[in-house]
Structure 1
Amino acid sequence: MAQNQPEWGAWRHWGDQKDGTYHNPIIPSDYSDLDCIRVGDTYYAISSTFQFSPGMIILESKDLVNWKICGHAVSDLTQISDELSWKKMNRYGKGIWAGSLRHHKNRFYLFFGTPDEGYFMTSAAKAEGPWEPLTPLLREPGWDDCSAIWDEQGKGYFIGTHFADGYKTYLFNISADGKSIDRPSARLVNAGSGREASKLIKVKDWYYLVFSEHKPDKGRYVMAKRSRTITGPYAEEKQLALTSQEAMEPNQGGIVPGKDGKWYFLTHHGSGDWSGRIVSLLPITWIKDWPIIGTVVGDSIGTMTWEGKMPYTHSDGYTLARSDEFNAPVMAQQWEWNYQPRNDKYSLRERKGWLRLKAFKPLKNNELLTAGNTLTQRCFRTSKNEMIVKLDVSRMASGQRSGLCHFSEQHATLGVAQEGSTRWIEYRKNGAVLKGDALTGSTIWLRSVWGLEGKATFSYSLDGKKYTSFGEPYALAWGYYRGDRIGIYCFNNEAEKGSVDVDYAQHTIEK
């Protein structure tokens, strides 16, 4: 199939084309640090969530192209550290990094690391949970990107990279239940050149250590070592794919068998821009028992693939949720709070069919990045994206700020401000404030529209039909290893007082 390579970020087609083919990216949204496994006829993938809660999102698919959100594995980030709570908010760019999802003896096992606190694990009978409370495996800073595997006798092994000591990767023995590491059993199996993103897999008679490597003159690309025995030595080594810098270096993910008898690599693109690290599906070609990734160049290495045949056809019910009517008694799975939220300051029950956000003081006045209970979800990089939220502001109090935001290391907001009994429209962009008209009604619709170029325009409406643009266009941004997010915020600079009710959040995208 001819490879019609688009300019990065300018794709007009993506995902399932409904004609037996797909176009990369399959998910033009920030699902970073992927791992992927197949259990029976179902695929499961995980993606890192950093400081967002609930943590470690889990996706489900029947065909490797169409995905839905299955759940999250970590409901309470304070199991890791109180630094991840609304009280401290001190883990931007940190928190839950890459992990590894495994299925062993009819149970799901999740292993992950945080750069400050070390390694953790949890397990569940079903991917959607409930997941057990976290078990700490290694309480040491400076580690990342772990994986695990069990041999035919049920003996467990764990692999992790000590990035703080020259990216040295060690293999450890773990207990059969995955809940403890034998620290003295460490064997050095890999080191150097920013080597991380390790995954351990077995195919036929080979154990493969698949990882990414970075060199300043080349960028980041996928490598593998292999051994006939799980403990090594992993003497044989091969580069599996070229850097593909024009495709933002696809490099980290999971190698899985397809239901069509072929193999695939579900990967993120890792250089980082406002859309985050988006997702593509690349074919695997086995050459001399090496999994060559993407389109084979010559006879021994791969490169980025932009199109392919669907591995299987099953799209019914598999789409990534975005919009929300807030009719359920629990938060929809696409939402993630910025840090562990304060549970007594939001409710889906106090007003049926509405989300009530209750205001309290941020750690620093008027700073969105220090305001607790900001509700976020991932943006998409498609031809047209629109988010509309309908708010009832009648319960707001003096000092309160509430509305719609784009959220990253930089940020912009359009919302309602109140001082005393006076309310007005307010636009903020990285601290700069534009004050608008007074607001006398109790209902307001807020909207953001953006496209492939990543420029968002804000507008508001007093009747849900006619919108008035307000504030200058905002360039969506990458920050703290994350792409831009869309969110709803509510805080009060003066007191723990006031609230805002959200009727719906309507997030539409155009392919």
Structure 2
Amino acid sequence: MIDEAIDAGKVGIVTNPVLPGDHPDPSIVRVGTDYYMVTSTFQFFPGVQVLHSVDLVNWKAIGHVITRKSQLDLTGMPDSFGVFAPDISYYDGKFWVVVPYYHGQPRCTTLLFTADRPEGPYSEAIMLNHHFIDPSIFNDDDGKRYLVFGGGWVHEMERDGSGLVGEAKQVWPGTGGAAPEAPHILKRNGWYYLMLAEGGTFFGHMETLSRSRSIWGPYEPCPHNPVLTQRDPEKFIQRAGHGKLVQDEEGNWWMFHLGGRPLTPGGYCPLGRETFLQPVQWTDDEWFTVGDAGEPCASLVLTQHGLVQAPACDLHDHFTGTELSPDWEWVRHPVEEGYSLSPKGLRIVCKPFIPYSLQSTLLLTRRWHSFGFEATATVAFYPESRGEEAGMTMYRDTDAFLFFNVRNGLGQTAAQPFDVKRLYENQEHEGLYLEVGQYVNVLKTTLGTWRLPIQHGERIWLKIRLEPKTQLFTLFYSIDGRVFEETGIALSAEFLYPERSNRFLCFTAPRIGLYARGVYGEMEGYAQFSSFTMEPLR
């Protein structure tokens, strides 16, 4: 019967993940026929990307919650700090987003933002408390509201969101797994269901469940905990947990959760933590199960007429709007007056910044969505000083990134730390050069330089290809947009994987980006990006 329904177009086959690539800690809310989701963004700005869907499967970024430095200043924010797991809810005609702001203290600061529209603009922050990570809001049917946060804590909240009422209480600490976090409460048939993520966000991650007749407890654990985890180390969906439930218009229940896809069993997850969709089934004794008997499904069937899952990583941007697409996010805040948009495209000024510092940058990034892809950027470079550069980047954080750029004059040619004085003094050759530079733990290795047969202001096409099977980058350039020359460089992408971080626990996955950069104390030119495309490779 299912096969016949599929042939008739009455159902759609959905392949997980539904949000591939660096979309951890999903939170979802349905308002009418629309679904809205937020995920973690850490040190990237704008922060807390808001996504929209009408079918639970195909998602489009529509805005951000944190769009102004006055809401949250990320200057100096260490890698993998900043915006942890946010939660979105809807109450009294408004969208409410609580954000755990982790800034290196033992606890997070919980910030609340509200907006009349899901895409924003959102209010200035209301500080609610300093406590454990991962807050969420539960709106009870008696009008009372509660803030729930990691470790199974509950605290009543003022109805207008202006503050908290009384004292917090830990109502259920979980089943004993490490790091009980990501709590969500829902109410059904008089039961309060409290979910927690346990075991940490790595292999062995899981979702556990309890319930009570009172929001304050006592809570009884589900007899078949965990309700979601990956028990088979050979399956391609691992690290499953941190889930939230939503009910669709037809009354069906679904869970969105994070997970990772390792290249090999127990190996690296190049795309980091992604968002997956699972069916939820309620049992006769009023518990529920998730996925396939508690394990995540790689694919599932949705009974929606004409549902087609759009391919991941098929992107085209000509920067012709008045604002950047919300798919783009800067590394921390952009340098002031560092970029603009016009009918000619995206202009990034060659303002100086240190790419591995924790200050403002002009590194504009977007997520990888597949294990292999081909990305091309078109740029016209108008430098004013020797040492200026502009082009593409493959970026994980300040400890690992790759630059593929056009440089005004030949720069550093040996593996050495970045030094502004040395950079300036080493400008031995005039003209435009193509350069490939790899940064690992502040050490730069120049992998190649080539003299370019173009003048200032002439366009050049830069292309980076990531082979899905070998995980090798190959780099190309063209001066006419049709014939591409290969640089001869083949570089493993492994140094960008989150698990390859040596100095800290890395929560962010690799991104691709555009940038321009100048030299301190020198005149500033600019780069004009007129197009960017990114297509998946199978």
* TM-score interval, smaller chain: 0.7 to 0.9
- The aligned counterpart of 2:502 is none
SS at match of 2:282: strand
Answer yes or no: is 1:504 the counterpart of 2:531. Answer: yes
- The aligned counterpart of 2:518 is 492
CA distance in 2, matches of 1:55, 1:18: 38
Post-superposition Cα deviations, 1:92-131, rounded to whole Å, max 9, x if no partner, equal 1011110111111221111110222511011111111221
- The aligned counterpart of 1:58 is 50
Listed as ranges, the matches of 1:63-102 within 5 Å are 63-77=55-69, 79-81=71-73, 84-85=74-75, 88=76, 90-102=77-89
Listed as ranges, the matches of 1:433-472 within 5 Å are 433-441=446-454, 442-453=458-469, 454-470=471-487, 471-472=489-490
Post-superposition Cα deviations, 1:304-323, rounded to whole Å, max 9, x if no partner, equal 21221124346689887832
CA distance in 1, matches of 2:530, 2:292: 47
CA distance in 2, matches of 1:327, 1:114: 33
Answer yes or no: is 1:211 the counterpart of 2:224. Answer: no
Post-superposition Cα deviations, 1:223-251, rounded to whole Å, max 9, x if no partner, equal 01111122222233442123344321221
- The aligned counterpart of 1:111 is 98
Give the counterpart of 2:291 among 282, 294, 302. 294
Post-superposition Cα deviations, 1:340-389, rounded to whole Å, max 9, x if no partner, equal 1124110113xx23111012222x4x64876712100001115x422110
CA distance in 2, matches of 1:460, 1:216: 39
Letter of the structure 1 residue corresponding to residue 217 of structure 2: G
- The aligned counterpart of 1:8 is none
SS at match of 2:120: coil
- The aligned counterpart of 1:250 is 240
- The aligned counterpart of 1:9 is none
Letter of the structure 1 residue corresponding to residue 474 of structure 2: T
- The aligned counterpart of 2:349 is 358
CA distance in 1, matches of 2:356, 2:140: 50
- The aligned counterpart of 1:347 is 340
Letter of the structure 2 residue corresponding to residue 150 of structure 1: N
- The aligned counterpart of 1:22 is 14
Task: Count how many residue pairs are aligned between Structure 1 and Structure 2.
Answer: 473
Q: CA deviation at 1:135?
A: 1.5
Question: Which deviates further from its counterpart, 255-264 or 55-64?
Answer: 255-264
Post-superposition Cα deviations, 1:270-300, rounded to whole Å, max 9, x if no partner, equal 587211112221111112212211112xxxx
Q: CA deviation at 1:472?
A: 2.6
Answer yes or no: is 1:395 the counterpart of 2:383. Answer: yes
Letter of the structure 1 residue corresponding to residue 480 of structure 2: D
Change (3 A) 1:127 1:314: farther
Post-superposition Cα deviations, 1:465-488, rounded to whole Å, max 9, x if no partner, equal 111222332315233311110001
- The aligned counterpart of 2:403 is 413
CA distance in 2, matches of 1:179, 1:324: 40
* Native 8 Å contact 1:63 1:311 kept in 2: no
SS at match of 2:337: helix
Give the counterpart of 1:240 among 214, 224, 227. 227
Q: CA deviation at 1:495?
A: 3.3
Post-superposition Cα deviations, 1:35-57, rounded to whole Å, max 9, x if no partner, equal 11211111111111111111101
* Native 8 Å contact 1:444 1:461 kept in 2: yes
Listed as ranges, the matches of 1:417-436 within 5 Å are 417-419=407-409, 421-430=430-439, 431-436=444-449
- The aligned counterpart of 1:143 is 132
CA distance in 1, matches of 2:68, 2:25: 20
CA distance in 1, matches of 2:451, 2:360: 24
Change (3 A) 1:370 1:186: closer
Change (3 A) 1:180 1:286: same
Runs of 5+ consecutive residues of structure 2 not aligned to the other structure? 3-8, 262-267, 410-426, 499-505
**Identity in percent:** 25
CA distance in 2, matches of 1:218, 1:439: 47
Q: CA deviation at 1:397?
A: 2.6
Question: What is the aligned-residue RMSD (CA, Å)?
Answer: 2.7
Letter of the structure 2 residue corresponding to residue 178 of structure 1: G
Runs of 5+ consecutive residues of structure 1 not aligned to the other structure? 3-16, 162-167, 297-301
CA distance in 1, matches of 2:360, 2:405: 15
SS at match of 1:436: strand
Listed as ranges, the matches of 1:151-230 within 5 Å are 151-161=140-150, 168-182=151-165, 184-191=166-173, 192=176, 193-214=178-199, 219-230=204-215
Give the counterpart of 1:44 among 15, 30, 36. 36
CA distance in 2, matches of 1:133, 1:24: 35
Q: What TM-score results when the alignment is normalised by the length of structure 1? A: 0.86
Listed as ranges, the matches of 1:363-374 within 5 Å are 364=354, 367=356, 372-374=361-363
Give the counterpart of 1:475 among 475, 485, 493. 493
Answer yes or no: is 1:322 the counterpart of 2:315. Answer: yes
CA distance in 1, matches of 2:154, 2:11: 44
Q: CA deviation at 1:179?
A: 2.8
- The aligned counterpart of 1:312 is 304
CA distance in 2, matches of 1:500, 1:134: 35
Q: What TM-score results when the alignment is normalised by the length of structure 2? A: 0.82
SS at match of 1:79: coil
